[in-house]
Amino acid sequence: MFLRASLKPGASGQPGWRGWRLLVWVAAASLVLIDGRRVKQPRCPAGCTCTKDNALCEDVRSVPHAFPSDVLSLSFVKSGFSEITGGSFVHTPHLQLLLFTANTFDIIDEDAFAGLPHLEYLFIENNRIASISPNAFRGLKALIHLSLAYNNLDTLPRDVFKGMDALNKVDLRGNNLICDCKLKWLVEWMHQTNATLDQIHCSGPPNYQGRKINDLLPHSFDCITTEFASYQPLKFESISVEAFTFVNEQYVVFAQPFAGTCSFLEWDHVEMTFRTYDTIESTSTVVCKPMVIDHHLFVIVAQLFGGSHIYKRDSSANKFIKIQDIDILKIRKPNDIETFMINGESFFVIADSSKAGSTTVYKWNGNGFYTHQSLHPCSQRPVVYQWNRSQKKFDRRTDIPDMEDVFSVKHFWVKGDLFICLTRFIGDSRVMRWDGAMFREVQTFPSRGSMVFQPVSVSNWQYAILGSDYSLTQVYQWDTKRGQFIPSQELNIQAPRSFSVVSVDDRVFLLASSFKGKSQIFEHHEIDLSD
């Protein structure tokens, strides 16, 4: 705005200094007036009642975006909006108290209270809130009192109170909090924070129902679970797989009956995959069993045709050399090999499934392997043998009744107790425990086309894997409290025949042979359900 004034000129014919000062002052006053006309003081929104520094809104359908600038406390009662959306209160930055009660909304979105640096009291009570976004309270650094009492909350997102360092009071009464792994973080937070909480109780799960959350401890929660995740598919079929350590390196070997080879793989520390290491040519191979004795690597190769053989790794020539044949009259139809040591001496046993052959124990004598003992079970049921220390041979102890047609037997230990897994193709495979005189049944598993029921151990985890030619492979995990296996996961493996575990570079892999499809490698993962 321009104001024209008749001022007495100075000596130079220009207005005097007093006139310039008057002109500037009048112009400034005019601009303030104009600016004052442009910005009008917000009125109290419809549905709300406003006093000097308070506002109360009742039965409104949305959060109003304009309030008088001097409002310091704001309340919503019996409102009809369904959620508090992000940035709902950026137009009321001076709020110190915000209250919601008897409303119908059930969701609080991300950054719902952004732009409220002075908010000290937030009451969200007697509403229908079932879900709070993880960053709903982000930015409320001055908040000292938070109440979420009497809503429909069954959990809270992890670290929802993060950054609220001034908080000294939290009220969670009247909710249906489930004290599972998702809420473990809250128990941890309660033991670390200076804020006080009223007594609250668990609504579930059953083992915690009715207990005070304030009395729980973080270690009360068992939140670590595991899974085998597909890691590396292989390009060949196989009937058995073994993992072994030689010269501080980890290797695996697959028996490939159709290709007629023992295929060795080694771990590539750079590419982080298993790669081809070497092969042993064979015929109708069923087992390639590695055995390390005095820093020398031997491999027992069992074949259905052409006899079985023993190879030794020649380090200077960097290849496997056949050193011994296994008596074909004793071993006619091999189906499994196990290695073991007794009093520092090395043995292996080949299980023979033919009527004319004989399951045979071999012993290393320093130069080669010789027949130590032939076992003639003369039974269709599994037979238990025990080592006789004085005679240095196995004595027949007993057999396992009502277990005809068992395909294989594998053992494992749990806290000093000996268990076995017995595989049956049709019927029930079983887990049994040795009681000092007999193996007693612990658990049965329906088997439909099962050729392998194999226990494997990973760190403190004990598994039993039941393969099937007709359905998915079932992985079971040992439950210490129950003293039984419980279902863990399913794996898609076509006609599995064998499993083995290898640990390398602080990682653990499960190797799975497949008789009719591609063999596979899975990685073992530990998952924290509280994250």
Per-residue model confidence as pLDDT tens digits over 306-324: 889 999 999 999 999 999 9
Same domain, yes or no: 58 and 200: yes
Report how far residue 111's alpha carbon sits from residue 128's, in angstroms, rounded to the nearest whole number. Answer: 19
- Asked whether residue 66 carries a pLDDT value surpassing 90, the answer given is no
* 64 within domain boundaries: yes
CATH of residue 120: 3.80.10.10
Mean pLDDT value across residues 314-338? 91
Same domain, yes or no: 65 and 102: yes
Same domain, yes or no: 126 and 153: yes
* 447 within domain boundaries: yes
Same domain, yes or no: 66 and 212: yes
CATH of residue 330: 2.130.10.10
Question: Structural domain of residue 503, as residue ranges?
Answer: 223-236+403-530
Whether the model clears a pTM of 0.85, i.e. scores above it, the answer is no
Same domain, yes or no: 206 and 315: no
* 493 within domain boundaries: yes
Same domain, yes or no: 215 and 232: no
More confident residue, 329 or 306: 306
Task: Render 455-503 in DSSP notation, one character per residue.
Answer: EEEETTEEEEEE--SSSPEEEEEEETTTTEEEEEEEE--SSEEEEEEEE
Same domain, yes or no: 292 and 210: no
Same domain, yes or no: 68 and 184: yes
* 17 within domain boundaries: no
Same domain, yes or no: 500 and 524: yes
Mean pLDDT value across residues 338-350? 96
Report how far residue 94's alpha carbon sits from residue 75's, in angstroms, rounded to the nearest whole number. Answer: 14
Q: Which of 221, 248, 281 is the last residue of a domain?
A: 221
Report how far residue 267's alpha carbon sits from residue 243's, in angstroms, rounded to the nearest whole number. Answer: 11
Count of structural domains, the chain: 3
User: How does residue 325 score in pLDDT terms, banded at 50, 70 and 90?
Assistant: very high
Same domain, yes or no: 247 and 334: yes
Q: Which of 358, 376, 394 is the last residue of a domain?
A: 376
Name the token pair of 38. Answer: 């442009």
Report how far residue 362's alpha carbon sits from residue 378's, in angstroms, rounded to the nearest whole number. Answer: 20
* 489 within domain boundaries: yes
* 428 within domain boundaries: yes
* 389 within domain boundaries: no
Tens digits of residue pLDDT in 400-414: 988 888 889 999 999
Same domain, yes or no: 185 and 277: no
Q: Are 211 and 203 in contact (CB under 8 A)?
A: no
Among 243, 236, 177, 186, CA closest to 208:
177
Among 100, 141, 107, 143, CA closest to 123:
100
Same domain, yes or no: 325 and 230: no
pLDDT (0 to 100) of residue 19: 37
CATH of residue 452: 2.115.10.20
Range in 98-112, 117-131, 219-233, 321-335 the model is least confident about: 321-335
* 296 within domain boundaries: yes
Q: Which of 163, 196, 221 is the last residue of a domain?
A: 221
